[in-house]
Chains A and B, each alone.
Chain A
Amino acid sequence: MRRDVAEKLARMDADEQALLRPLVDTSRGFYVTAAFLAAVVVWGLFSYYLQVRYGLGRTGLNRPGYWGIYIICFVFFIGISHAGTLISAILRVSKAEWRRSITRSAELITVLVIGFGAIQPIIDLGRPDRVLNVIFHAQPRSPLLWDVVSIGLYFISCTIYLYVPLLPDLAIIRDSGIKAPRLYRFLAAGYRDTPYQHVVLERVIKVLAIVVIPIAVSVHTIIGWIFAMTLRPMWHSTIFGPYFVVGAIYSGIAAILIAMVILRRAYRLEEYFRDVHFDYLGRMLLLMACLWFYFTFAEHLTVFYGAEPAEMRTFWSKITGQYAVPFWMMTFGCFVIPFALMARSATRTPRGTLIAGIAVVIGMWLERYNIVVPTSVNPIWEIEAIGRYMPSWIELSIMAGACAGFILLYMVSTKFVPIVSIWEIREGREMVHEVAERVARYSGAHTSSTRVGA
Chain B
Amino acid sequence: MRPTRREFLWTMGGAATAYGLWQVPDLVREVDSFAETGWSPGLEDRINSTCLICPSRCGIRGRLVDEHLVGITGNPLHPMSRGGVCPRGVAGVQMLYHPERVASPLARVGPRGAGQWQPVSHEEALGQIAERLQVLRTEGRPEALALLAGYCAGTMQDLWRQFLRSFGSPNYVADDYNDGTDTIMALMHGIPRRPSYDLEQAEFVLSFGASLFESWWSPLQAFVAFSNPGGGNGQRRRFVQIDTRFSRTAARAHDWIGIRPGTHAVLALGIAYVLIRDELFDADFVSRHVSGFEDFVDDHGRPVEGYRSRVVRNYRTEEVSVITGVPVERITSLARALAEGGRQVSVCGAEVMFSRNGLLAGLAVHSLNVLLGSVNRPGGVLVGDDPPLDPLVEPLLDSTSEAGLGHAPVAEAPPFGAGDQASRFAEVMAEDEAPSIEALLLYYSNPLSSSARREQWTRVLEKIPFVVSFSPFLDETAHQADLVLPDLLPYERWQDAPAPISYPYPVWGLTRPLVQPQGGGMHTGDAVLALAKNVGGAVAQSLPYQSFEDLLQVRARGLFSAGRGVILGSEFERQYHREMEQRGWWLREHNEFESFWEDLVDSGGWTDLFYDDTDPLRMSRTPNGRIDLLPAELLRLQDTQEGERQLYMDVGSDDDGAPDEFPLRLIPYRVSTLASGTLALEKWLVEQPVVFPDVLWVPWVEVSPITARALGFGDGSMVWVVSPRGRYRARLKMFPGTAPENVCAPYGLRHPDGEQANPLRMLDGSVDALTGLPSWSSTFVRLERA
Q: What is A's interface to B at a CB cutoff of 8 Å?
A: 52-53, 127, 129, 385
Contacts and interface: CB of A to CB of B under 8 A. Distances in A.
A129 B30 CA distance: 11
9 contacts: A52-B27, A53-B27, A53-B30, A127-B31, A129-B24, A129-B27, A129-B28, A129-B31, A385-B694
Nearest to A129: B28
A64 to B, nearest CB: 13
Nearest to A55: B31
Nearest to A385: B694
A129 B694 CA distance: 36
A52 B27 CA distance: 8
The DSSP consensus for interface residues of chain A is helix
Contacts of A129: 24, 27-28, 31
A95 B717 CA distance: 62
A53 B27 CA distance: 7
Nearest to B27: A52
B723 to A, nearest CB: 31
B696 to A, nearest CB: 11
Contacts of A385: 694
B24, B27, B30, B694: most-surrounded residue (chain A CB, <10 A): B27
Interface string B19-43: 0000010011011000000000000
Interface in B692-707: 694
A53 B30 CA distance: 8
Contacts, number: 9
Given A129-B24, A129-B27, 7 more contacts: A52-B27, A53-B27, A53-B30, A127-B31, A129-B28, A129-B31, A385-B694
Contacts of B27: 52-53, 129
Interface of B: 24, 27-28, 30-31, 694
B571 to A, nearest CB: 35
Contacts of A53: 27, 30
A127 B27 CA distance: 11
Contacts of B30: 53
Nearest to A49: B27
A94 to B, nearest CB: 46
Nearest to A53: B27
A53 B28 CA distance: 9
Most buried by A among B24, B27, B31, B694: B31
A122 B768 CA distance: 67
A385 B31 CA distance: 31
Nearest to B694: A385
A127 B28 CA distance: 9
B595 to A, nearest CB: 54
A350 to B, nearest CB: 40
A385 B692 CA distance: 11
Contacts of B28: 129
A385 B693 CA distance: 10
A51 to B, nearest CB: 11
A275 B31 CA distance: 56
A52 B29 CA distance: 12
Nearest to A130: B28
A155 B28 CA distance: 28
A126 to B, nearest CB: 9
A52 B28 CA distance: 9
A334 B393 CA distance: 90
A133 B24 CA distance: 17
Contacts of B694: 385
Contacts of B31: 127, 129
B564 to A, nearest CB: 50
Contacts of B24: 129
B687 to A, nearest CB: 14
Nearest to B24: A129
B351 to A, nearest CB: 30
B6 to A, nearest CB: 14
A385 B24 CA distance: 39
B74 to A, nearest CB: 28
Contacts of A52: 27
A129 B27 CA distance: 9
A129 B23 CA distance: 12
Nearest to A384: B694
B23 to A, nearest CB: 10
A96 B24 CA distance: 50
B293 to A, nearest CB: 50
A127 B29 CA distance: 12
Nearest to A126: B31
A244 to B, nearest CB: 34
Nearest to B32: A129
**Ordered nearest first, which 5 A-B pairs have the shortest CB separation?**
A129-B28, A385-B694, A52-B27, A129-B31, A53-B27
A210 to B, nearest CB: 41
B518 to A, nearest CB: 31
A52 B30 CA distance: 10
A127 B32 CA distance: 10
A38 B30 CA distance: 29
A322 to B, nearest CB: 13
B33 to A, nearest CB: 13
A163 B424 CA distance: 91
A402 B694 CA distance: 38
A53 B23 CA distance: 12
Nearest to A52: B27
A52 B20 CA distance: 14
A65 to B, nearest CB: 15
B73 to A, nearest CB: 28
A127 B30 CA distance: 12
Nearest to A128: B28
A127 B35 CA distance: 13
A52 B31 CA distance: 9
A52 B24 CA distance: 10
B733 to A, nearest CB: 12
Which of A53, A129, A385 has the largest count of B CB atoms less than 10 A from its CB? A129
Nearest to B30: A53
A52 B694 CA distance: 32
Nearest to B28: A129
A317 to B, nearest CB: 15
A383 to B, nearest CB: 10
Nearest to B31: A129
A285 B465 CA distance: 86
A321 to B, nearest CB: 13
Contacts of A127: 31
B697 to A, nearest CB: 15
A75 to B, nearest CB: 28
A410 B694 CA distance: 49
A52 to B, nearest CB: 6
A159 B528 CA distance: 84
A205 to B, nearest CB: 37
A237 to B, nearest CB: 29
A53 B29 CA distance: 11
A339 to B, nearest CB: 37
A167 B198 CA distance: 94
A378 to B, nearest CB: 15
A424 B30 CA distance: 54
B119 to A, nearest CB: 36
Nearest to B29: A129
A11 to B, nearest CB: 30
B705 to A, nearest CB: 16
A118 to B, nearest CB: 20
A55 to B, nearest CB: 8
B712 to A, nearest CB: 20
A445 to B, nearest CB: 61
A44 to B, nearest CB: 16
